[in-house]
Structure formats: C-alpha cells, structure tokens
Structure 1
Amino acid sequence: MPRLDPVPTSPPPNALCCPACHMLAYSPASFSGQDTCNKCRRIASLEARLDELEGRIHTLNLTSKQLATESPVSCVDAPAIRSTDRPTDSVTMTAPSQQGTSPWVTIRGHKSKQRPTANHQPLHVSNRFSPLASQDKPASLVIGASTIRYVKLTTPSVIVNSISGARANDIESNLKVLANAKRKYSKIVIHTGTNDVRLRQSEITKQNFISVCRFAQQMSDSVTFSGPIPIRRGDEMFSRISDLNRWLSEWCANNNVGFIDNFSSFLGKPRLLKRDGIHPTPEGAVLLSRNIDHHLTEASS
C-alpha cells in the first residue's frame, strides 16, 4: 500500500492567507490592499452596496410615514354614477351583405334596465404609530449604522433606526433632524464605531463621539453607547476597534453615560460575524439584540 503523506496543519512557506475566508495563494495579485483576497473584497463591496440601497428604502419609508402622520388622508363620498346618466338605448349597425344593396340600416334595441345605486361609505384611515404618540412616556430610540439592521427588541416602545455607513457625526445629523421635529425620547442608545475607525484619526473620532453624546443628552435624560463589535478585517482594524472600545468604556464610566460591552460578547466567536467580517450573522444579531434589551430593561427598573 502506498504511503500517504500527512496533511500540513500550517500554511506552506511563501503562501499568503486571507484572514476572512482563509484562502491560500502564492501570488500577491490575488489580494487587495486591505490584506483580504479579491473575492472577499468583491463580496464586501456588494454587501456595502446592499446596505446603501436598504438605507435608501428605509429613508423613503420614514418619509412616507412622516407624511402620513402630518397630513392624514380623509376620504369623502364619491358621487354615485346612476344608470340614467348613460344612454338608454343601444344601437346596432348592420352592414350590407353585398355591394349595391340597400344602404346602412340603424336598428334600435330595447331600453336598458336601470342599475341600483350603491351606497359609498367613507374610508377611515388611522395611524398605526398613534399608540406610541399617545403615550405619556415617549418611546426609546436605538440609532446606529447597518450593524443594527436586524436587531429585534422585546422591550416595548423602542424605535430602531439603522443608517447604512453611518459614523458618529452622521448620527448626530440625524438626531438634529429629529430634534427639529420636537422629538423627545425616554432613552437613546447609540451604536457606532466600525465605520469611524476606518478614518484612522483617533482623536477626531473621540471628539465626534463626545459631540453626538452631548447632543443626544438634549433629547433624552438617559444616553447609552452600544460598544463596537470586534470585526475581522486585519490586525490593524481589530487593534483600532479594541482601542476605541477601551477608551469609550472608560469615558462613559467617567461621564455618567451608559455603556454596553459588545466587544467581550463577540470576541473569539467568528460564527457571530458574516463572511465580510463586519456585519453580524442571524445568531450575532440575536446576541446584539439581547445585550441592548438587557440594558434597556435594567435602565427601566
């Protein structure tokens, strides 16, 4: 029997390994500038485009809901069309069978029967978000980037607003739009960080976090940061996320701001992230939802 060589447990020498899909290649042309293979880069680009399109759809839905709330539609009775408004006689034209015969002849039929008039009732339109608006206690708001797109919370009266590709300053801009509409919230949870570290400007990122927190405190007495999750996009990005999470947890503790430690929950669990290494899988979305739910429940008690 021929001898079988053992399967190597480590990458061959001079081979490049993709940190996302663990593909091996000897040619540097198979990899992008972010240390990931071209295939993973294309997948990440398509998912980013999908996030952008879903963000536009979400914005259109919010706009339509706002228009429905501000300008309720009221329907009135439409005028009934009676059979007397139509011609009472039917006319049938018969053509000559052969050339040279008698001219056209008009034959009048029987008078059509009058149809009964239908009673048109007005259509009642109601706003399905009115229970939230009618409550004495305003709803809570969870706002952040596309990471929270599939977050499903069991805590009642919570609005989840996912903004594709949002950074801290983008979230502040959205809060200003809500503030112009005189919106107030019992609690505000801000989830961001992944898109901010891509700027590679740590001090500017920290100031943006402080700025969005100060503005959110004008709209709610309870503001919380939902910490970033440890993404898998190379050692540099992982290190920046880790440093941001450490600074954010310390700053929140020193400034009486709530903090949700998602980094520890996701660390060492690659199954919780999709192939792009950024967005959570369905299992990861459940864990992220549980972390936010747990904090909202504790804050209410």
Structure 2
Amino acid sequence: DKFELHSLQLELEAVEKQIQELLVRQTELRERRAALESSRVSIQRDTNTLTTSTPCASLHRSRAPWTRSSQVSFTPAPGHHGPWVQQQRKTRARPRPRTSPPPPPPVFEISTRNRFAPLRETERDAVIVGDSIVWYVRATLAKGKVHTHCFPGAGVLDVSAQIPAILKDGESVGAIVLHAGVNDIKLRQTEVLKRDFSSLIETVRST
C-alpha cells in the first residue's frame, strides 16, 4: 500500500535522524573525555612538579658540646586528691531530620481520567490519531468502528496538520484519541511544546 510505504519511509527518516543525533552526541562525549584526560594529566604534572620543587628541611642538627651535670634532681609526681572523676566523652549532636519543602503549585491544570473511557463510552465511530506508538493499537467498540491514523516520526504540529483531512465534515465521530509529543520531547522546548498542544486541541475543537 502507498500509505504503508509512506509511513515506513517517514519512520526510516526519523530513525536516521536519531542516528545522526547519536553520532553527534558520541563525538561531543569523546571530545569531552579527551579534554578531561588532558586536564587530569596537566594537574598530575603540576603536582609532581610541586612535590619535587619543595625544599626538604635538613634533619642534621648541630651538635652541641655534651656536658655532664654534677647534680641530678628528681621531680615528684603530683599526688591525687579527692575522688576519681570519670571523664565524659563529648557526643555529637544528632542531625535533625530534613523535611523536604512542599512542591510548588502547578503552572497549569491538566485534567486526568481513564484513558480508555472515551472509547468505551462512545456509541459512534472513534478515531485514533498519533505517531508510531499507535501503529499496533487495536480497539473495539460496542457500536461503531475505530479508525487508526498513524504518522511515524510526527510531532505535535504534524498531527495537528492532519486533523482537518481526517475529521471531514458530515462524518459522525464519537471520540477522538490523540497521541503526540514523543518526538518533540528531545527538543527540550517546554514552552513551545505547550503552545503546540494548545494549537492541536483548538484544531480538533474547531474541525
């Protein structure tokens, strides 16, 4: 099928892109390791230089003429007076248990519910749209059919662009299941990803 061939082509492109990113990351890690090893060798060399350049104190003392004392004096040991007192050891104060601070309030609220509820409660056809994760999704309804649309390697905006063609006018759809964002997480653009999700939801609502 042309659709399956196109899907495989997109998935291959996504895999090749990930391989290229991994190769770039491997090169960066190797350069960092080489820099760390060079720094360690430099520090060790400086330490050896400091050790060899430190002057050693002379252990030879000048010999003074030895004279024999004509008188020998003894100092008596001090006597013990009073009861023996046991010396108490100082005990370290036990550290107080640390209490973790309360979590910060959420920036935005996300309503959560049973992810299978939309498919189970609908009595009409359902549509599943997403990236390669939904490729093997097989769902059944009590009434109606489930149509799965898979776009390997697609991001949130890519899925949003396919919504108008999938949700055509006049078709009765009871539930829409969206799965996107896996391919956007690696970009580490949180604010952009939130805007993309908002755009996707608005596109679904307005279609």
User: What's the TM-score bracket when you normalise by the shorter of the two chains?
Assistant: 0.3 to 0.5
TM-score of the two chains, using structure 2 as the length reference: 0.38
Q: Work out which of the two has the higher radius of gyration on C-alpha atoms and give 1 or 2.
A: 2
TM normalised by structure 1 equals 0.27
